[in-house]
Structure formats: structure tokens, C-alpha cells
A = this chain, B = another copy of it.
Amino acid sequence: MPSPKLRVAIAGLGRMGARHATHFHNLTPRAELVAASSPEAHELAWAEQNLDGVRTYLNYDDMLDQECAKGLQAVVIASATAVHSEQAIKAIKRGLHVLCEKPLSTGVERSQAVVDAYRESLRSFPSQKVICGFSRRFDASYRDAYEKLQSGMIGVPSVFRSQTCDKLDPSGFFVEYAQFSGGIFVDCSIHDIDLALWFFGEDSRVKSVSAIGITAVEEGLRKYNDRDNALGLVEFYGGKIAQLFCSRMMAAGQEDSTEITGTKGKLAINTQPASNLVKIYEPSGIRREIPPHYYGRFRDAFIAEANVFTACCLDDTPPPMKLEGAVNAVRIGVALQEALITGKKIEFDEQGNRIGETAKDQVRARL
């Protein structure tokens, strides 16, 4: 008799949603994708063509209603960032397992609300799993580095340097996108921040952030308080520091790399990017191609994420990361974005409260 599979629904079938749907449908042996919702009719049409046997819904709430009656166990939230937290909370309240794409929200308070809902729900559903999809944690290279770090190979991890740099999209798409993205530090660097928290320890507490940036190729970003290249510093309590770089302007492709320096050694991930193992020898020299997009670099990590999430739901094992970390990452990302625009260093006390700001500032920053 075959083992039971995790019955999963997906919310959102845009670019990333369609990929998640495909991963759960075809490449996650222990999961069964049973339903998908999207407000876009053409996305549902795509699902009907490509996701055999999956029921489709124009409305997320309808999907929850009908599918819960049919034994739905888990939801993947891959919709627009603006509705992540709301959709996640609805699923949490029904006791469903949730894998929510990053970020939980572009605001700290709304992110925290997801955590609060989960904490509340755990009283009724103690086996419920809710995680935020920081895909890089499932990448084989990052996992290998993490295990080496945990083994003590580099001593005490002390200096973290990381970048998320996109290939230049000359269509300027990212200008319009900047209205909703939360800014380059929230959209791109959130991954690096999450990695810093992972490598330094999920309980790391931020002490200060500073940032500078420019609009080298897209002046239009300024009207949305964004930049196309930015550099940040993050200081943690306990003698740990981090340096971030995010950019929309890479020529060669997606360049996401990380270095973690400890007192006895260093681990570097993807500081020599390459699409594959081919080298091209030609009159101008020796060339390697690199992945043009984030998905090209991290496809296997997304598939691993789907499988790990499925296994932890089915087997009731601890989730691979704490949901609180996702709020912490948003807090730091939002603060970096504010530092980028105001030019001010932002400081936090050991309880995570901002130092030296007025009540009004606090409110504005946390929304």
C-alpha cells in the first residue's frame, strides 16, 4: 500500500507560483498537489494545461473552504507579496501547514502578525508547521557550508559578507516593481540577512544598520524611494558584523555570493559563479557562462525546499527554520532601506527596540 502523500494547495500561479506548483506536482514524490488559486484566469488556464488533476479556483478563500472539506493539509503561498501575510494567517487559523514565499510582508508588524497567529494556532494544532521560504537555506552549497560551520571548521563565525545582485533587465521592469517590493534591501538582501541570521545563529540581535546607495542606471527608482545599487552594514550584539551588497545592474548574470569568516577559517559560496562545468576557449580568452536569473541559480534549492517541507509535515519533525527569524529579517531589511533613504544610522537596543527615534518614527517604520 502506498504511503499517504501530503495534500497541498498553492495560492498564486505567477512566475514563481507556477514553478512552485510544478515542483510540488512533479518533483516532490511525497506530496500531491490538489488545488491552485489565482485571481488571473490565464494562470488558471495554464494550470489546467500543465497540472493534471489539480482543481483550480479564482478565489483563495473558496479554495480553502472547499479543499479543507476534502482533506487539504498544506498551503504554499506564492501570491503577490502584499497578500502573503493575510493568506498565510487564514491558512494558519485552519490548522494547515504553510510554506510562505519570502518575505512574510514588507512591513515588520504585518510580518509579526503571522508569527503571532502561528503561536496562537499551535495551541490547537501542535503539529502544525509554518515556514517562510528562504530558498537559499535549501541550496546544496549553502547547506554544505552551514554544516562545515557547525562542525567548527572555521572557529567562531565573525564577519559575514553577502550579495544578491540581479542581471540588468534593460526593460526597466524593476522600476515599476519598486512600488511594491519594499525596496532593494527588502526584496534582494532579505536573503542575505536571513543567511546572516542562520550562520550567526537565529537568536542574533541586530545592534545597528547603515546604508548608502545610488541610481546608476535607473534614476526613476528615486520616486519610489529606491536605488539600483546599495551597500549596507549590519552590526549584531556579541561581536559579529555583516556587509551587504545588492544591485540590479550585473552584466554577466545573477551573482549571489556569500563569505563567512571565522576566527579559524573562511567559507565562500559561489564567489566563482558558473552555470555549469563548461569552459569556452576562444580568441578573447576563456569564458564561463553564469545563470541569468535567480531561478537558474536556485532551482534545485526550491525543489529541495518542497521536499523538506513535505517531509517535516508528514513526519512531524521540527521545521527547518524558526518563523521568528523571518520577522527579524524583515526588521533588518526595512531598517536598512530606511537608512539607505535617510542616510541615518539606525540603532537598536538588545530587546530589538530602536534607539533615539520618536514614537512617530517607530510607527512609520514598523508598518
**A191-224: contact bitstring with B at CB < 8 Å (1 yes, 0 no)?**
0000000000000000010111111110000000
Q: Please determine whether A159 and B281 come into contact, CB atoms closer than 8 angstroms.
A: no
Give the residues in chain B near A290, CB-CB below 8 Å.
285-286
Q: A210-B345, A252-B283, A287-B287 are in contact. Are A229 and B241 (CB under 8 A)?
A: yes
In the bound complex, do residue B263 and residue A269 qualify as a contact, i.e. CB atoms below 8 Å apart? no
| Chain B CB within 8 A of A243 CB | yes
Contacts of A210 in B (CB 8 A): 210, 212, 233, 345
Q: Pick the contact of A241: B145, B231, B267, B272 (CB < 8 A).
A: B231
Give the distance in Å from the alpha carbon of A255 to the alpha carbon of B53 in the complex: 44
A167 — nearest CB in chain B belongs to which residue? B283
Task: Say yes or no: is A103 at the interface (Cβ < 8 Å to chain B).
Answer: no
Contact with B along A8-28 (1 / 0, CB 8 A): 000000000000000001110
Complex Cα gap A297–B345 (Å):
36
Docked-complex contact A145 and B233, CB < 8 angstroms: no
| Contact A247–B261 (Cβ < 8 Å) | yes
Asked whether A251 is an interface residue with its Cβ less than 8 Å from the other chain, the reply is: yes
Cβ-defined contact, A280 with B245, below 8 A: no
For A137-173 the 0/1 string (1 means CB < 8 A from B) is 0001100110010000110101101000000000000
Residues from chain B with a CB closer than 8 A to the CB of A140 are 276
Contact status of A281 and B251, CB under 8 A, knowing A271-B271, A343-B208:
yes
The reply to whether A281 and B267 contact each other, CB–CB distance below 8 Å, is yes
Q: Is A277 an interface residue (CB 8 A)?
A: yes
A3 to B52, CA, bound (A): 7
Neighbouring B residues of A278 by C-beta, 8 Å: 141, 144-145, 148, 267-269
Contact of A285 with B281 at beta-carbon distance under 8 Å, contacts A159-B247, A235-B212 already known: no
- A214 and B240 contacting across the interface, CB-CB below 8 Å: yes
* B269 with A243: CB separation less than 8 A: no
Alpha-carbon distance between A29 and B141 when the two chains are bound, in angstroms:
26
Residues B287 and A2 in contact, CB atoms below 8 Å apart? no
Q: Would A212 and B229 count as touching, CB distance under 8 A?
A: no
Which residues of B are found within 8 Å of A358, using beta-carbon distances? none
User: Residues of B contacting A29 with CB < 8 Å?
Assistant: 25-27
Residues from chain B with Cβ under 8 Å of A2 in the complex = 52-53
Offer 16 A-B interface pairs, CB within 8 angstroms, sorted by A. Answer: A2-B53, A145-B278, A159-B216, A212-B233, A212-B235, A232-B233, A250-B261, A251-B266, A252-B282, A253-B285, A266-B280, A267-B278, A271-B271, A271-B279, A286-B288, A345-B345
**Pairs of residues from A and B, 5 with the lowest C-beta to C-beta distance, nearest first:** A266-B281, A26-B29, A2-B52, A141-B277, A285-B289
